[in-house]
Amino acid sequence: MSKRTLRAAWLALILAIAPLAWGESPSAPTWASYAASQYEVVPNVTYLVAGGREVKLDIYKRRNATALQPTMIYFHGGGWVRSSKESVQMALIPWLEMGWNVVNVEYRLGPVAVAPAAVEDALCALRFIATEAKTYGVDANQLVVSGESSGAHLALTTGMIPESAGLGRECQGVPLPRVAAIIEWYGFWDVGDLLDGANRKPYAVQWLSSAQNREEVARRVSPMSYVRSGLPPVLAIQGELDTTAVQHSMRLDEALTKAGVQHELVTVPHGGHGNFPAEERAKIYVKIREFLAKNSLGKT
């Protein structure tokens, strides 16, 4: 898809849904004109070649910016085995409205490469953006990672796994930067919990495969294995009726509290595993804006 086609698609999308996003937003035509004139789309940038496969990301960057921009890196969901970066473009719109640069990341799915490939790819995407920060107008000191479901899991691992863990060695560049914040939507905290028992998920089993050391791999790719003081602030968003993820969110909240990590847990009444009503998502983005402001993020 050409850049012109991508911009046209975004313009039509924004015109359709902008009035739903914020009660105090500019009118749809004003916002659409702003987006079309102020943002450039750089699609399908190869950030990694692994297993003979090019792994790509899309960059939405402010035009004519005179300063490096705060940037959100987004990972799509799909249980690590399906979906695509193109399927989540609507989730990026509130960040464009806030004036952020956005990076939308693809990663190797389970049918192509089992765990820990997706985690390694996500770390490589972070390294790539930090390495090419000036090229794409990115403020490497204001990198926020986010995602929903398994994408939230990748946001957590990307923001928490240290260089010393040995993941992400397939890519070269600057040392892994410290992300400024993590915003995770109903993510998974303990991958091993998804392999057996009441919380068993077929997609997690597929992602971990039947390797004899799958429990060890599950620990390596679980955010819970990397809890320590000094982590970036975390905003967790969770539907109250999302049984498995609720358990993981509560464990995340408890672990971060013990480690002294700044964090907040936002619960959605009667919410399940995503698909929140528009009015609830609007409230969540109010919280996100407050969270960013509290941590002095979003300033150029």
Give tens-digit pLDDT for 152-187: 999 999 999 999 999 988 898 999 999 999 999 999
* Domain CATH number, residue 44: 3.40.50.1820
Distance CA 284, CA 280 (A): 6
Whether the model pTM is above 0.75? yes
Question: Does residue 23 fall inside a structural domain?
Answer: no
Question: Does residue 19 fall inside a structural domain?
Answer: no
Question: Does residue 34 fall inside a structural domain?
Answer: no
As beta bridge partners, residue 103 has 59, 73
Question: Does residue 17 fall inside a structural domain?
Answer: no
List the one residue out of 266, 254, 246, 233 whose CA is nearest residue 193. 246
Question: Does residue 254 fall inside a structural domain?
Answer: yes
Q: In the structure, what pLDDT confidence band is assigned to residue 37 with cuts at 50, 70 and 90?
A: confident
Distance CA 149, CA 276 (A): 13
Give the other-Cβ count within 10 Å of 132's Cβ. 16
Tokens representing residue 88 in the block: 């989540």
Q: Over 60: is that where the pLDDT of 215 sits?
A: yes
Question: Does residue 178 fall inside a structural domain?
Answer: yes
Residues in the chain: 300
Distance CA 26, CA 96 (A): 13
Q: How far is CA 241 from CA 76, 244, 269, 271, 273, in A?
A: 21, 9, 8, 6, 8
Q: What is the DSSP string of 72-101?
A: EEEE--STTTS--GGGGGGGGHHHHHTT-E
* Domains in the chain, number: 1
Q: Over 70: is that where the pLDDT of 15 sits?
A: no
Distance CA 191, CA 81 (A): 14
Which residue range is the domain that position 110 belongs to? Answer: 39-294
Tokens representing residue 64 in the block: 């004519």
Question: Does residue 150 fall inside a structural domain?
Answer: yes
Question: Does residue 2 fall inside a structural domain?
Answer: no
Distance CA 59, CA 114 (A): 26
Give tens-digit pLDDT for 228-243: 999 999 999 999 999 9
